[in-house]
Amino acid sequence: MGLMDGFAGSIRMAGDSGATKQVGSGGMTTSWVGFKGTEDLGGGLKANFALTSFMRINSGTPGRFTGDNFFSRDANLGLSGDFGAVTIGRGLAPNFLPTVIFNPFGDSFTFSPLVLHANVGLFNGTGWTATTPSDTGWSNEIIYSTPKFGGLSGNVHYQFSNLADTGGNSGKKNVGANALYFNGPLALTAFYERDQLTNPTVTTFSPLNTKTDWMLGGSYDFSVAKAFLTYGQANNDLTPKAKTTSIGASAPVGAGKFLAAYAQTKIDGGASRKTASFGYDYFLSKRTDIYAVYMNDKITAKSTGNSFGVGIRHSF
């Protein structure tokens, strides 16, 4: 099983000296491939596992970036039943589901304004860092997922460092939780995490540095359009606070939907970033769609970036 997503276009982020014309991977969803399975143990108890790997289909290279772990998407197993589920290994961080579900571009690490602000740093002289403290997935993790109570469910995450408990490593961990509520056209979410470890390669942050991140979000489906709204803050012991607001909408048109999203992140006493994206996603079938997206990206006192891409996505 997996998903392939490729696009052709031109990418220029805020602060870039020029545009990069490219065939890229993961315009709307990061490409991945792998295995998942479940065994029914009887009495409502099940054993579950997942081994899935990100990949870049433009080059056939594994991982999201050079140095990414091979099974950086999933490498876990656990038990589930009436009590919920317990999973150990590498899995999602608390920030991931609330961020990707509550914006119209989903898990696009190329064109979603909210995902870009939260998860993608810019190494082009702008000094812009992602607001998410420690990746969208955690290694050495235990996750407890609650059963559903009406439309409400939640996940509690704890990551061990797996490092010798000496010096600056003593007691270091990542902890967090999220909640998701779905009731007809209304959906709500919240997450919080407190991080002292990096991912996917696990090391500790610099001494005395703890990073926290939280977000509230909601969406409402009016049938003619679905509206999205989020607000969150990222705090770092060594840098100013970052505050992010995002709004968006999707509207069904024909066999596809129009997408529009905007995110603004303000750094206390510093720069701000504003990103807007507009696109159309057309479904050829339940498993295959084509899309076109335009994005504008701005950072205080830096050159403006304009990007566009046309792509295809297929799940299997």
Quote the CA–CA distance of 297 and 7 in Å, as a whole number. 19
Residue 42 — very low, low, confident or very high, per pLDDT cuts 50/70/90? very high
pTM for this one? Answer: 0.94
At 15 the pLDDT is: 97
Instruction: Calculate the CA 314 to chain-centre distance.
Output: 19
At 226 the pLDDT is: 98
Per-residue pLDDT averaged across 150-164, rounded?
96
Query: How does pLDDT run across 86-135, given as a tens digit for each residue?
Result: 999 999 999 999 999 999 999 999 999 999 999 999 999 998 999 999 99
List own/partner pairs for 60-63 with CB under 8 A and 24 or more apart. Answer: none
Statement: residue 208 has pLDDT above 90: no
Quote the CA–CA distance of 82 and 55 in Å, as a whole number. 35
At 2 the pLDDT is: 97
Statement: residue 35 has pLDDT above 80: yes
What is the residue whose two structure tokens read 């967090």?
A: 176
Statement: residue 165 has pLDDT above 90: no
Dihedral of CA atoms 236, 237, 243, 249 in degrees, nearest 10, equals: 20
Residue 298 — very low, low, confident or very high, per pLDDT cuts 50/70/90? very high
Contact 293, 308 (CB under 8 A): yes
16, 149, 202 from 105: Cα distances, Å: 23, 28, 29
Query: How does pLDDT run across 235-253, given as a tens digit for each residue?
Result: 988 888 999 999 999 999 9
Instruction: Calculate the CA 44 to chain-centre distance.
Output: 31
HEC states along the chain? CEEEEEEEEEECCCCCCCCEEEEEECCCCCCEEEEEEEEEEECCEEEEEEEEEEEECCCCEECCCCCCCCCCCEEEEEEEECCEEEEEEEEECCCHHHHHHCCCCCCCCCCCHHHHHHHCCCCCCCCCCCCCCCCCEEEEEEEEECCCECCEEEEEEEEECCCCCCHHHCCCEEEEEEEEEEECCEEEEEEEEEECECCCCCCECCCCCCEEEEEEEEEEECCCCEEEEEEEEEEECCEEEEEEEEEEEEEEECCEEEEEEEEEEEECCCCEEEEEEEEEEEECCCCEEEEEEEEEEEECCCCCEEEEEEEEEEEC
Query: How does pLDDT run across 109-120, given as a tens digit for each residue?
Result: 999 999 999 999
Dihedral of CA atoms 157, 161, 165, 169 in degrees, nearest 10, equals: -110
At 174 the pLDDT is: 97
Per-residue pLDDT averaged across 257-283, rounded?
97
At 206 the pLDDT is: 79
Quote the CA–CA distance of 82 and 80 in Å, as a whole number. 7
Query: How does pLDDT run across 5-25, given as a tens digit for each residue?
Result: 999 999 999 999 999 999 999
Quote the CA–CA distance of 279 and 274 in Å, as a whole number. 17
Residues 2-315, CATH architecture: Beta Barrel (2.40)
2, 9, 44, 46, 142 from 39: Cα distances, Å: 20, 43, 11, 6, 20
